[in-house]
Amino acid sequence: MAESLGQYRLVRKLGTGGMAEVFLAAQRMGDALTRPVVIKAILPHLAEDERFVEMFLREARVAAMLSHPNIVHIHDVTRLDGRPCLVMEFLKGRDLWTVLMRLASLNEAVSPEAAAAAVAQAASGLDYAHRKRDRAGQPLDLVHRDISPHNLFLTREGHVRVLDFGIAKSAYQQTRTESGVIKGKLPYMAPEQARGKDVDGRADQFALGIVLWEMVTGQRLFARDDPVLTMQAMFHEKTPKPSSVRPCPEVLERIIMKALRKSPTDRFDSCESLAHALRAWLASVDAESEARLVRKLLAHAVPPQEDEAFYASDRPQEDDAEPIPTDELHLVGVDLTPSGMERAAEREPIFPPPELTASVETRAPRRPWALAVGAVLLVCLAFGITVIAARPTAPPAAATPVVVDVEPPAPAPPPAPTPVVVRFLDVPEGVVLEVDGGRLDGDSLRVLPSDDVHHVRALVGEREVWRYDGIFRRDTEVPLPPDLALPP
């Protein structure tokens, strides 16, 4: 590749997500001095969307203000073929989602101590962002709004970094998000955020509570197969205690349940208070240092040996490099998963059932990818033996090849998809629904099932009071929030 962008030289393309493509690059720092960085460029078709470009640049402006050991560092903003790009620090490690999936494949969960250490670090980084002020001393009122295991990155040094402030809400942004617009991953939203209400740092705290609950239990908390069921669980079901799934220290359980209170006023007053409570518990059980706990957790789930092939190529090369497989994308500290709640809602729960064992550091982890490679090799080996066994001992006489010009039959046309029906429930009088920019006649929508995201808005006049972004593959019902804020 070796394409130059001023002081940056692209080394290889790491992958493409729903909104951006990511490159490994080398930054020239001086004579014979370079450092690896990551460049995140929005996709070409999105670069034509002024609203999306503004969101992307807002991420850069907000993130550039933040300098904390537990928040990913943004070095610069540049352009690639006219597209805005973020230049970020290069991180060695994995995101928490990958760690949890690896542990699930081992039928394990995170130890209570390691879970508390990781979340305490993330809470400190978020509290710093919540309290951040601009150069004039005015509070930014920054809220991340998209905390999930995908946006928490564990480094080999034992640090936890918060990623992607792309949908963060701040008083700094020139155009504030309309009240009632839902953004984030639905299974990790606070109830007030899912209802489209104004949120503060306690919404991020609630998301951390979900992450902590899932780490110590090895199961999903609110995630269901359908986003409607997810919202019902979030709004109406009693939050189960972690100990109902697997053993959990009593004090830690009380901390988790306090962070998960439905009302923001019943939670900790700040993420720093949550971090303080977690660290006090760690001290009371004479736990190892946070960095050591995080290092051991990552090493157990993803052994460092898996990094060797990748990091051997973290210096710029003159020749083109092969793209890195998509399951390695999170090495660089960039979540390529689209932030929309529809992506989170459609994921199958991947954590193991309740009969889990605690994570044991001395156990040599099995690697699902290694088993898969082994299976492929066995199939290839068996095929090779079959070919060898069937090979005649003496080569037959050469035969004149017969060439038959046969036109292949035309493939049968695929069956026409059956439209799915989406019904919107509890639509108040005076509220008009708009789908993908067009007004909806009534409360039912007929669309063809696909992976396309449909954008539904509830309007009173020209004011947007609620928003739902979803993928519809089957008949479903979507209730509007019962306490929808309507103008008098």
The edge-to-edge listing of strands for the beta sheet with 83-89 is 4-5, 8-16, 20-30, 33-42, 83-89, 74-80
For residue 157 the two structure tokens come to 């040094």
Cα separation, 258 vs 206, whole angstroms? 9
CA 272 to CA 278: how far, in whole Å? 10
Is residue 146 part of the annotated active site? The answer reads: yes
DSSP β-bridge partners for residue 80: 83
Tell me if 484 sits within 8 A of 465, measured CB to CB.
yes
Q: For every residue of the chain, which 3-state class applies, written as one string?
A: CCCEECCEEEEEEEEECCCEEEEEEEEEEECCEEEEEEEEEECCCHHHCHHHHHHHHHHHHHHHCCCCCCECCEEEEEEECCEEEEEEECCCEEEHHHHHHHHHHCCEECCHHHHHHHHHHHHHHHHHHHHCECCCCCECCCECCCCCHHHEEEECCCCEEECCCCCCECCCCCCCCCCCCCCCCHHHCCHHHHCCCCCCHHHHHHHHHHHHHHHHHCCCCCCCCCHHHHHHHHHHCCCCCHHHCCCCCHHHHHHHHHHCCCCHHHCCCCHHHHHHHHHHHHHHCCCCCHHHHHHHHHHHHCCHHHHHHHHCCCCCCCCCCCCCCHHHHHHHCCCCCCCCHHHHHHCCCCCCCCCCEECCCCCCCCCHHHHHHHHHHHHHHHHHHHHHHHCCCCCCCCCCCCCCCCCCCCCCCCCCCCCEEEEEECCCCCCEEEECCEECCCCEEEECCCCCCEEEEEEECCEEEEEEEECCCCCEEEECCCCCCCCC
CA distance linking residue 154 with residue 144, whole number of Å: 18
Residue from 95, 127, 141, 146 carrying the catalytic annotation: 146
Instruction: Name residues whose C-beta falls within 8 Å of residue 222's C-beta, 6 or more positions apart in sequence.
Output: 187, 188, 210, 230, 233, 234
Which single residue is written with the structure tokens 């019904």? Answer: 423
Which residues are marked as active site?
Answer: 146
